[in-house]
Amino acid sequence: MPDYREMWKDLGMNLELHDQLCEVLPVAFGDVYLTQDNRPESMDYYNFVVSEIHGVRPAELIEHQKKGGKVFGTFCVYVPDEIVFAADAIATGLCGGSQFWVPGGEKVLPTSTCPLIKASVGARLDKTCPFFRIADMYVGETTCDGKKKAWEILAEDVPVHVMDLPQMKRPKDIAAWADEIKTFLGKVEEFTGNKVTSESLANAIRLINDKRRALARLYSYRKNETLPISGKDILLISQIAFYDDPTRFTSMTNKLCDELEERVKNNVSVFPSGTKRIMLTGTPLAIPNWKLHHIIETSGAAVVVEEMCTGTRYFENLVDETKTTIDEQLDALSNRYMGINCACFTPNEGRIKDILRLAEEYQVDGIIDVNLKFCNLYDTEGYKVERAIKEAGIPVLGIETDYTDQDAEQLRTRIGAFVEMLGTKQFA
C-alpha cells in the first residue's frame, strides 16, 4: 500500500488522531466483512476501495484539483450531483458514519444532535478525514434543524452553499426546487469558472442515471428467493456509491451484477434456504456504519432491501434524459429529486407507499424501522409508518440507535427475538 502520510500532512490533517482511526477501521472491516463465506469475487474491488478509503480516491480528487478542477462535498441525496459534474467538477458525499468523529462534533454542537451531524462536523473540525479537507465547497440543505445550524458553524471554516429545500410537494414547491437548482448552477459556474451547457448537463444526467441503473440492477438480485449476495455487501456498495468515481463505480457494479446473474442461474445463495428476509427503513447508514446489518445477518436473517438514503431513495427514478434546454433539464432534475420521500416533507405519504411496495417486491418477512438517536423527523414519522406496516400485516420492530457499540448486545437480543418470532405461527 502506498504511503499517504505526505498527502495527509499537506491537507493539514491531524495525523496523530487520524492514526487512531487507521488502526481501528481495518479491524472493524475485517470482523464485519471478511468473515463472510462465499462472497462474490467481484467484491474485491469494493474491499480494495475501503482498504484504501483515505488514500486512493482522495489522491484522485487532489489530482483533479491540481488540474484546476473543484470538488464539492455534499450531505444529502436531494443535492443534484449532475450540476457539479456538468461543470467539470466532482461531487463527493461527506456524511460521517463513525463514532470516532462524534466527540469532535460535540465540542460545538449540543449532545442531543443526531450522530450523523455530529460526526460530519467532527470530521471537519478535528481534521481527521481527507475528504472533508479536500472539498473546496460544501453544499448543505435545509432538511432538518440540526443540519441547518451545523452549516452555519461549518461555514466559519469552509465555503458552504446552502440549498433551500421546500418541505411540501405542491407544484409550486417543485418549481421552487428547480429554481433553487438554477441558483446552485450559477454558484457552481462561478466557483469553478466553467460554463454548464445543455450538452454538458445532458452528459452529466446520463452519467448519474447510469449509476442509478447499475444500483437498481444490483438491487434486483435481492428480489430472488435465493440471495446471491449479502445485505452487508450491498450496504457497502451503496455507501461507496457516494464518493467513488461514477464511471468506474458503474462499470464495476455492472461487472458484479454479471457475476450475480450467474449465481442466480446456478442457485448460489449466501444464506441457507428459509432465511428470514428483512427490510430496513429510516435514517441513512453512512460509511462505516455497518452495525445493524452485521447484527441482523449474524442473527439468522438477511437484509434484502433498505428504504433509506443509503438504499432505494438514492437510485430509484431516473432523470428524464430527453430534455434539450437547460430550463427543461432543471425541471426534469427537480421532478426526479422531489420524488424522493424524506421525512423532512409534510405530508410524506409517498414514503409509506414506497415501504409497502418494496415489502412486496422484495418479499420481506419483517421490517425494522431504524432511527438515529435525536432524529426527531424520522422518530415522529415512525408512528404513522409503523402503524401502516402493521395494518398491512407485516411484522415491524422499531429501534433507535447511535454510532456507539454500547447498545449492540441489547440490539442483538431484540433483533434475535424478532427474527425468531417471524418464524412462528404468530405472524404466519
Q: Which residues bind ligand BJ8 (CB under 6 A)?
A: 76-78, 114, 116-117, 143-144, 146-147, 283-284, 309, 340, 342, 344, 372, 375, 377-378
Q: For residues 122, 402, 236 and 120, what is the CA-based torsion angle, rounded to 10 degrees?
A: -20
Taking the complex as a whole, how short is the minimal distance between the CB of residue 381 and ligand BJ8, in angstroms? 10
What is the Cα–Cα distance from 23 to 21, expressed in whole angstroms?
A: 5
Taking Cα atoms as reference points, which of 282, 270, 192 lies closest to residue 227? 270
Q: Give whichever of 70 and 147 is closer to ligand BJ8, judged by the CB atom.
A: 147
What is the Cα–Cα distance from 235 to 239, expressed in whole angstroms?
A: 6
Taking the complex as a whole, how short is the minimal distance between the CB of residue 76 and ligand BJ8, in angstroms? 3
Q: Give whichever of 88 and 400 is closer to ligand BJ8, judged by the CB atom.
A: 400
CB 385 within 8 A of CB 352: yes
What is the Cα–Cα distance from 76 to 281, expressed in whole angstroms?
A: 17
Taking the complex as a whole, how short is the minimal distance between the CB of residue 212 and ligand BJ8, in angstroms? 15
Q: Give whichever of 147 and 277 is closer to ligand BJ8, judged by the CB atom.
A: 147
Q: Is 276 exposed, middle or buried, given 0-12, 13-18 or 19+ CB atoms closer than 10 A?
A: buried
Taking the complex as a whole, how short is the minimal distance between the CB of residue 102 and ligand BJ8, in angstroms? 12
Q: Give whichever of 94 and 411 is closer to ligand BJ8, judged by the CB atom.
A: 94
Q: Give whichever of 13 and 109 is closer to ligand BJ8, judged by the CB atom.
A: 109
Taking the complex as a whole, how short is the minimal distance between the CB of residue 193 and ligand BJ8, in angstroms? 29
Taking the complex as a whole, how short is the minimal distance between the CB of residue 307 and ligand BJ8, in angstroms? 11
Taking the complex as a whole, how short is the minimal distance between the CB of residue 211 and ligand BJ8, in angstroms? 17
Q: For residues 278, 280, 285 and 290, what is the CA-based torsion angle, rounded to 10 degrees?
A: -20
What is the Cα–Cα distance from 377 to 282, expressed in whole angstroms?
A: 10
Taking the complex as a whole, how short is the minimal distance between the CB of residue 342 and ligand BJ8, in angstroms? 3
Peptide bond into 347 cis (omega under 30): yes
Contacts for 245 with CB less than 8 Å, ≥ 6 apart: 57, 60
Q: Give whichever of 121 and 256 is closer to ligand BJ8, judged by the CB atom.
A: 121
Q: Give whichever of 317 and 363 is closer to ligand BJ8, judged by the CB atom.
A: 317
Q: What's the per-residue H, E or C state across 143-156?
A: CCHHHHHHHHHHCC
Q: Give whichever of 88 and 379 is closer to ligand BJ8, judged by the CB atom.
A: 379
What is the Cα–Cα distance from 252 to 364, expressed in whole angstroms?
A: 28
Taking Cα atoms as reference points, which of 285, 282, 251, 288 lies closest to residue 131? 288
Q: What are phi and psi of 363, to 5 degrees?
A: 50, 55
